[in-house]
Amino acid sequence: MKAGIVLLLIAMSTIIFASACSGDDAPAPDIETQVRDALAAADIEGQIREAVEATDIETRIGNAVATAIAAVNAGVPIPTPLPQEPGSFRTQAQVIQDVYRKVTNSVVHISSTVYTVDSFNSPVPRTGTGSGFVLDNEGRILTNNHVVEGAQLVEVTLADGTILEAEVLGRDPFSDLAVLQVDVSPGQLLPIPMGDSDSLLVGELAIAIGNPFGLDRTVTTGVVSALGRTLDAPNGRTIANVIQTDAAINPGNSGGPLLNADGEVIGINTAIFSPSGGSVGIGFAVPVNTAKRWVPEMIQFGRARHPLLGVSIANVNSRLAEELNLFSEEGVLVQQIAQNGPAHMAGLRGGTSQVQIGNIVILAGGDHIVTMNGEPIADTDAVTVFLDFKTEVGKTVDVGIIRNGQEMTITVTLGELPQ
């Protein structure tokens, strides 16, 4: 069939060429007759008939239609192509460039200075650096708590080189976040929009911008490598729902934004796993929804008011449940109760005797917590997430427990976790 089309094209081009080269005095050729003769010579109709018979198009179409009908009857969803606006396709490089242009002037360099005294009683400054980004038009900057913790002097360098002394407006050591305040005129700072870390998917583009090793506004890229990680904050408390990324994060990136393809903040870069001290492709960011939860409290109270239950707890697993004759392999076992704390005042009980299971020593005999406000509690991380994101200081929580084989509910009025 292709040969016939080629012959037809050659024949038609010959006719057109001959017509174009004819002089004014030459008789006009009968173009319609010549085209009809060329089509007949190429036998296009016969070639199409032979191609259809050879490939049995009718049978193939029938089979495809039958398959589609069967899929619909079986309830299988048929994908619908998304509409594509003309010119809307962008390469990954263009996406990164667009994001960088959009937010780079909103990323700041933070230096913190701590003064110590040497053997001659003279002050000796020690300076650290980190990153941060603009929260709003009122001069507020978000960064990591460990970037500014204990500093006597904090300075913020803007994209235009302006250096401003900053006040630490609020800190949250438990989520490793801090809010700074700088004195600028309205409109001088451009905030970065906040995304939604709960809607992230593994494999999404991740863009980190910060100041690694003091190199201002460096961009590195990767993907969201994993979700739901846990990370110990510098004060030892667990940060939940941490984002893992392979975008290069190095010393100095702390406090800078991790962004999605739309230029929205999805996390605050905070830590790396590295035997060398540099990036090996395993970095961690505090999810932006954690910042959304605690930033308003840091601004209002100067701290994040985390709810306090007032217990130390241990995870329950199948071996522990078997050894201690527990009625569930999930939940947490109360180890100790803080004296006069919320749990103590409500009547929760801690362990009474030490038991060694494998290489772990645990206190047995305490209450086995299995639900909070009716929600199943799988482990210690679930307790942290519930307290931080589903309740508040001063609220009451119905703690479902198993004590001596009996299910019961104890209502606890939550306190505030000391800083």
In a domain, 51, yes or no: yes
Is the domain of 120 the same as that of 63? no
Instruction: Enumerate residues 6+ apart whose C-beta is below 8 A from 324.
Output: 333, 355, 364
- Any idea what the CATH number is for the domain that residue 403 is in? 2.30.42.10
Catalytic residue among 112, 175, 254, 279: 254
In a domain, 287, yes or no: yes
- Domain C-terminal end among 181, 207, 236: 181
Is the domain of 264 the same as that of 294? yes
Is the domain of 244 the same as that of 225? yes
Q: Is the pLDDT of residue 343 over 70?
A: yes
- Domain C-terminal end among 181, 212, 239: 181
In a domain, 90, yes or no: no
Is the domain of 12 the same as that of 65? yes
Is the domain of 397 the same as that of 318? yes
The residue length of the chain stands at: 419
- Any idea what the CATH number is for the domain that residue 207 is in? 2.40.10.10
Instruction: Enumerate residues 6+ apart whose C-beta is below 8 A from 265.
Output: 133, 192, 193, 194, 195, 257, 258, 259, 288, 291
Is the domain of 137 the same as that of 176? yes
- Domain C-terminal end among 276, 301, 326: 301
User: How confident is the model over 31-84, as pLDDT tens digits?
Assistant: 666 656 665 666 666 666 665 565 565 666 666 666 667 666 666 555 555 555
In a domain, 100, yes or no: no
pLDDT, residue 357, reads 86
Q: Is the pLDDT of residue 305 over 90?
A: yes
In a domain, 223, yes or no: yes
Is the domain of 333 the same as that of 382? yes
Is the domain of 69 the same as that of 163? no
Is the domain of 257 the same as that of 176? no
Is the domain of 67 the same as that of 114? no
Q: Find the domain containing 37 and state its range.
A: 2-73
Of the two residues 199 and 51, the one the predictor is more confident about is: 199
In a domain, 140, yes or no: yes
Catalytic residue among 106, 112, 146, 279: 146
CA-to-CA distance for 143 and 291, rounded, in angstroms?
Answer: 10
- The domain total for the chain is 4
In a domain, 25, yes or no: yes
In a domain, 330, yes or no: yes
176 is catalytic: yes
Catalytic residue among 106, 109, 111, 176: 176
Mean pLDDT of the chain: 84
Is the domain of 143 the same as that of 240? no
pLDDT, residue 127, reads 84
Is the domain of 39 the same as that of 136? no
